[in-house]
Amino acid sequence: MSRVFNFSAGPSMLPVPVLEKCASDMMDYNGSGMSVMEMSHRSPVYEEIIAAAEASLRKLMNIPDNYKVLFLQGGASTQFAAVPLNLIGRTGKADYIVSGQFSGKAFKEAQKMGYDVKCIATSKDTNFDRIPVVTKDMISPDASYVHICFNNTIYGTKYGYIPDTGDVPLVADMSSCIISEPVDVSKFGVIYAGAQKNMAPAGVTLVIVREDLLEYGDPKMPSMLDWKLMAENGSMYNTPPCYSIYVAGLVYEWILGMGGLDVMKEKNEKKAALLYDYLDSQDYYIAPVQKDSRSMMNVTFVTGVEELDKKFPKEATAAGLVNLKGHRSVGGMRASIYNAMPYEGVEKLVEFMKEFAKNNPKA
């Protein structure tokens, strides 16, 4: 069977050159006589792998020297608890901007833990069809941090701006847009991201944290959530997700080999423009997201007819375009066009959309 175009929100497509390298290394990595899946994380050969992955990421994202890079476990959802446990000790309070399901879950997690947190802005009243506008005067000056989800996978929205939080550290969940374009890391206190959308197979979670913020952790927090402890141990306090880190390193090298994040952004903008330009040119499909909040990574659309919305993903799958069913919170369809999705895949999708509309007229 030939490879399909996989529009899954995650786990998602990986670059073919990376998969081919994984395949060639599977039985014998670099003359070690074993797979990366099998080797000790304490061995010199694996220590080289994790060090190279961090070095490549630092170069790719231009991460300042006063930031630690952590490769952790538990998914981005575990960081919903880790963020307040590590940071709220600064002042005892925190602000959250709720722009979708995952930022809402992060807010609820902090509330559940009994912390003094508040939601200062949300777009829930319009089913998260936009990013809330937040100005500096809305930020609590005594907040320990402000938390946002930079790209909302489910709803297909993304921040078109970086909120000005003044001296209050900005914490961003970038799970579905990490390494898709350049970002000024210095404007954030913490960036975290699950790997399975744009970086690697599920299993590793990236945390980039400014060093001075490692001093506020709750001494009673579980060791596995303690960023300072993990930083002191080079992400190897326990056995890390070795294979996912290895693949992430290959992905970083793949992007660097193409020219870095400026080139990646150009490619992603071209793919997104192809799909959004088609959506804006017709009236069969409806794009629910406000134009100034549109995501480059996750594109949502509906026909407005339940039967057609159910039929579309089934026929698309038969055409080799898989995982286009939208999340139940939005319905319809969702095309996740992460870094590894080639332009050809989006071309095929648009061709299919045109054919589907022609063959399935609305009553």
Q: What is the pLDDT of residues 44-95, one digit of tens each?
A: 999 999 999 999 999 999 999 999 999 999 999 999 999 999 999 999 999 9
Superfamily of domain 260-359: Aspartate Aminotransferase, domain 1 (3.90.1150.10)
With cut-offs at 50, 70 and 90, classify the pLDDT of residue 2: confident
At 326 the pLDDT is 94
Distances (CA, A) of 355 to 72, 102, 118, 190, 215: 44, 34, 47, 45, 58
**Residue ranges of domains in the chain:** 16-258, 260-359
Q: What is the pLDDT of residues 276-285, one digit of tens each?
A: 999 999 999 9
Q: What is the pLDDT of residues 167-216, one digit of tens each?
A: 999 999 999 999 999 999 999 999 999 999 999 999 999 999 999 999 99
Residue 32 has pLDDT above 80, yes or no: yes
At 1 the pLDDT is 55
At 175 the pLDDT is 97
CB 90 within 8 A of CB 148: no
Closest CA to 329 of 86, 129, 80: 129
Please state, rounded to an integer, the average pLDDT across all residues of the chain: 96
What is the assigned CATH class of domain 16-258? Answer: alpha beta
Terminal Cα-to-Cα distance of the chain (whole angstroms): 37
At 48 the pLDDT is 97
At 363 the pLDDT is 76
With cut-offs at 50, 70 and 90, classify the pLDDT of residue 329: confident
